């Protein structure tokens, strides 16, 4: 009987569906939305072995939520980032179980500020699902990425005329029609309200019902205001004289923008009606010239254009800037450093007018300036300073390379970049411009000693060198022609200074045979054994490699047959010498076949 019951139990267990089998291990069924993973093979989609629910596994399916959390957006990204999912979401409560445990106990009690969008005023009275209208495929509300802009929920009664920044005029703390004037910053419109415009009631400009907000005419003042001048100042704008502070507040602006006469300083104390006493705002009653109001004290000498020298700031004692600005109208315009000279230096106060300003001597520079060259150029005509100097400053001089070409020593090559003071030095506190030195040796040291004494007598340094570059020698190397690799060698390789303290570099008595410069890499094989050979017998001047012209027939062993195809090192190998160095053995002590080859004809013993 017991065996029969055991068999029946086993049969029923095997007949159970897989879902039922899974429930043997599960604490309960999952909600309908997770039903597809409610099997014994899918536990790992939410759980890890030995752990509770892992948030990264949840987000592997809920990718849109994972993106919001990573961006710090919404409730999960701002207030619950890093917290366990199961704190608010509980599973295994059955297909109809409630997955969400709302903070506060209910959806309506959630502190909406945690989402980053606090609910204020009438927004706090709106039911949650009034704004969260999106649903999942199972009909559940979706809260992620709900729009927070006004246009996201409300219809725009302005039909887009004012953009989407509703909060610039409206506030959530008031009804929509209740226009919040304080919330509006008129600076953000095309017509900022300044001065008395800020005191005008909105409906004064925005008339009608409903009020007309756009478009309004405001390009000119006359769009709203009547011109009290009857068009006298057209086309000048009203803002040239007036401002929004008030019709009279622009009085100082009127004076600063007076069309033909500065109303500053002395004129500032004169009332407008003193000149405009006939009701004509545009033209004064007495005329526009200075002499119409003031006595012409210089009438005989300077005419009636007082303003050419005087300004309203002060009639007597002209400012130096005024004088400099008007000097171009005289026979001697001020240019360069002359503009920095105080007026009194040329127009001294102890000299009576008008001689203080008229008949001054200025034809030549020495009329004002001392000769800084102490008569060195006295032979030149007076006033010819401009050949080397300008009014921009006495230094630097304009006497450059082109001008120097007309002197006794034209500048060429490296001399062009030499500072003037390097050659024109003197005991006096200025440059000596008449220089007697004209040869290289008078300025430069001779680095060759007496090696080229004969050449120096004939033509000096220029026999070999030029002013362009000392290192670019024009020497003729005909006594020992440079060819092949020698033509590429630097001069210092042969004419260098052997010892640091020895001077000068050697150019005379340099060896001309190979051994004088090159080491013998053959360990004296061709000098201490007969027949002696010179380097040129085997080598050329292009490279140290054996020359192609080398004829092995000139040695004791002419190459024939297959010997001609062998490489040199097949017979001539490097050997270590007694002193530890190595050298290729070129002179072999054997010439017979047996010295290199085994005898294939020798009978075996």
Token pair 């959530």 is found at 172
Highest mean pLDDT (candidates 219-233, 268-282, 375-389, 560-574):
560-574
Per-domain boundaries in the chain: 11-118, 453-511, 521-544+569-598
* pTM of the predicted model over 0.75: no
Under 8 Å CB-to-CB from 410, ≥6 apart: which residues? 404
Q: Which residue has the higher pLDDT, 603 or 397?
A: 397
pLDDT of 14 > 50? The answer is no
Q: Which residue has the higher pLDDT, 344 or 283?
A: 344
Peptide bond into 235 cis (omega under 30): yes
Sign of CA dihedral 377, 381, 387, 392: positive
Under 8 Å CB-to-CB from 451, ≥6 apart: which residues? 504, 506, 507, 508
Report whether 417 contacts 426 (CB < 8 A): no
Q: Which residues pair with 576 in a beta bridge?
A: 582
Average pLDDT over residues 178-199: 79
What pLDDT, in 10s, does the model give residues 489-532? 888 888 876 666 566 788 888 888 888 889 999 999 998 888 88
- Least confident residue range of 14-28, 138-152, 419-433, 576-590: 14-28
The three-state secondary structure class of 115 is helix
Residue 311 confidence (pLDDT):
64
Q: How, if at all, do strands 574-576 and 582-584 pair? A: antiparallel
Q: Which residue has the higher pLDDT, 376 or 393?
A: 393
Q: If residue 582 lies in a helix (H) or strand (E), which one and from where to where?
A: strand 582-584
Average pLDDT over residues 366-390: 81
Question: Phi and psi dihedrals of 546, rounded to 5?
Answer: -60, 130
Distance CA 17, CA 127 (A): 44
Q: How confident is the model at residue 214 (pLDDT cuts 50, 70, 90)?
A: confident
Average pLDDT over residues 361-387: 81
Sign of CA dihedral 409, 413, 416, 418: negative
Residue 127 confidence (pLDDT):
93
Question: Phi and psi dihedrals of 299, rounded to 5?
Answer: -50, -40
Residue 22 confidence (pLDDT):
46
Residue 338 confidence (pLDDT):
92
Residue 302 confidence (pLDDT):
65
Distance CA 33, CA 99 (A): 10
Average pLDDT over residues 314-338: 77
Token pair 């104390």 is found at 269
Q: Which of 310, 313, 322, 306 is nearest to 267 (CA)?
A: 313
Residue 313 confidence (pLDDT):
60
Residue 261 confidence (pLDDT):
74
* DSSP state, residue 584: E
Burial 368-404 (b: 16+ CB within 10 A, else e): eeeeebeeeeeeeeeeebeebbeeeeeeeeeeeeeeb
pLDDT of 217 > 80? The answer is yes
The three-state secondary structure class of 484 is helix
- Least confident residue range of 38-47, 122-131, 374-383, 543-552: 374-383
Distance CA 20, CA 29 (A): 10
pLDDT of 156 > 70? The answer is yes
- Least confident residue range of 188-202, 271-285, 392-406: 271-285
541 burial via Cβ count (<10 Å: 0-12, 13-18, 19+): middle
Q: Which residue has the higher pLDDT, 70 or 549?
A: 70
What pLDDT, in 10s, does the model give residues 273-287? 777 776 566 666 677
The mean pLDDT value of the chain amounts to 81
Average pLDDT over residues 540-549: 86
pLDDT of 604 > 80? The answer is no
The string of DSSP codes covering 94-108 is -TT---B--TTSSGG
pLDDT of 602 > 50? The answer is yes
pLDDT of 577 > 50? The answer is yes
The three-state secondary structure class of 343 is helix
The three-state secondary structure class of 311 is strand
Q: Which residues pair with 200 in a beta bridge?
A: none
What pLDDT, in 10s, does the model give residues 67-122? 999 999 999 988 989 899 988 999 999 999 888 998 888 999 999 999 999 998 88
* DSSP state, residue 574: E
């Amino acid at each position: 009987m017991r065996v029969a019951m055991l068999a029946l139990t086993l049969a029923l267990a095997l007949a159970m569906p897989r879902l039922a089998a899974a429930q043997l291990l599960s604490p309960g069924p999952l909600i309908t939305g997770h039903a597809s993973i409610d099997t014994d093979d899918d536990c790992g989609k939410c759980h890890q072995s030995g752990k509770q629910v892992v948030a990264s596994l949840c987000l592997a399916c809920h990718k849109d939520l994972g993106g919001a959390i990573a961006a710090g957006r919404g409730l999960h990204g701002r207030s619950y980032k890093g917290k366990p999912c199961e704190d608010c979401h509980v599973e295994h409560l059955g297909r109809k179980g409630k997955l969400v445990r709302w903070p506060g106990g209910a959806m309506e009690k959630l502190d909406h500020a945690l989402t980053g969008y606090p609910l204020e005023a009438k927004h706090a009275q709106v039911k949650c699902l009034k704004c969260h209208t999106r649903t999942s495929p199972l009909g559940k509300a979706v809260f992620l990425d709900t729009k927070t802009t006004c246009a996201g929920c409300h219809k725009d009664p302005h039909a887009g005329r004012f953009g989407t920044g509703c909060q610039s005029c409206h506030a959530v703390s008031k009804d929509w029609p209740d226009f919040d004037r304080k919330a509006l910053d008129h600076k953000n419109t095309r017509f900022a309200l300044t001065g008395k415009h800020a005191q005008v009631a909105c409906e004064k400009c925005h008339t009608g019902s409903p009020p007309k907000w756009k478009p309004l005419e405001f390009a000119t003042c006359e769009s709203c205001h009547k011109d009290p001048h009857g068009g006298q100042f057209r086309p000048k704008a009203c803002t040239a004289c007036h401002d929004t502070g008030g019709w009279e507040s622009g009085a100082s602006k009127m004076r600063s923008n007076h069309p033909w006469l500065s109303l500053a300083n002395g004129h500032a104390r004169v009332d407008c009606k003193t000149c405009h006493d006939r009701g004509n705002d545009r033209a004064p009653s007495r005329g526009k010239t200075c002499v119409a109001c003031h006595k012409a004290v210089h009438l005989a000498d300077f005419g009636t254009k007082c303003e050419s020298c005087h300004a309203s700031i002060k009639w007597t004692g002209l400012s130096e800037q005024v004088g400099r600005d008007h000097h171009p109208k005289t026979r001697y315009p001020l240019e360069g450093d002359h503009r920095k000279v105080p007026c009194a230096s040329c127009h001294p106060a102890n000299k009576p007018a008008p001689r203080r300003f008229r008949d001054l001597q200025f034809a030549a520079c020495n009329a004002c300036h001392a000769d800084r060259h102490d008569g060195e150029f006295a032979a030149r005509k007076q006033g010819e300073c401009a050949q080397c100097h300008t009014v921009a400053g006495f230094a630097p001089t304009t006497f450059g390379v082109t001008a120097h070409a007309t002197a006794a020593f034209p500048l060429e090559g490296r001399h062009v970049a030499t500072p003037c003071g390097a050659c024109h030095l003197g005991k006096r506190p200025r440059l000596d411009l008449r220089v007697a030195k004209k040869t290289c040796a008078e300025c430069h040291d001779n680095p060759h000693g007496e090696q080229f004494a004969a050449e120096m007598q004939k033509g000096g340094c220029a026999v070999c060198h030029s002013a362009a570059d000392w290192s670019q020698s024009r020497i003729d190397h005909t006594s020992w022609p440079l060819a092949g690799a020698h033509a590429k060698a630097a001069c210092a390789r042969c004419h260098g200074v052997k010892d640091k303290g020895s001077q000068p570099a050697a150019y005379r008595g340099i060896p001309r045979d190979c051994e004088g410069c090159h080491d013998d890499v053959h360990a004296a094989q061709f000098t201490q054994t007969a027949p002696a050979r010179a380097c040129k017998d085997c080598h050329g001047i292009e490279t140290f490699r054996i020359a192609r012209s080398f004829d092995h027939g000139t040695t004791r062993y002419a190459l024939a047959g297959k010997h001609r195809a062998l490489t040199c090192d097949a017979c001539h190998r490097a050997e270590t010498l007694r002193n530890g160095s190595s050298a290729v053995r070129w002179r072999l002590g054997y010439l017979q076949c047996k010295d290199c080859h085994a005898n294939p004809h020798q009978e075996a013993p």
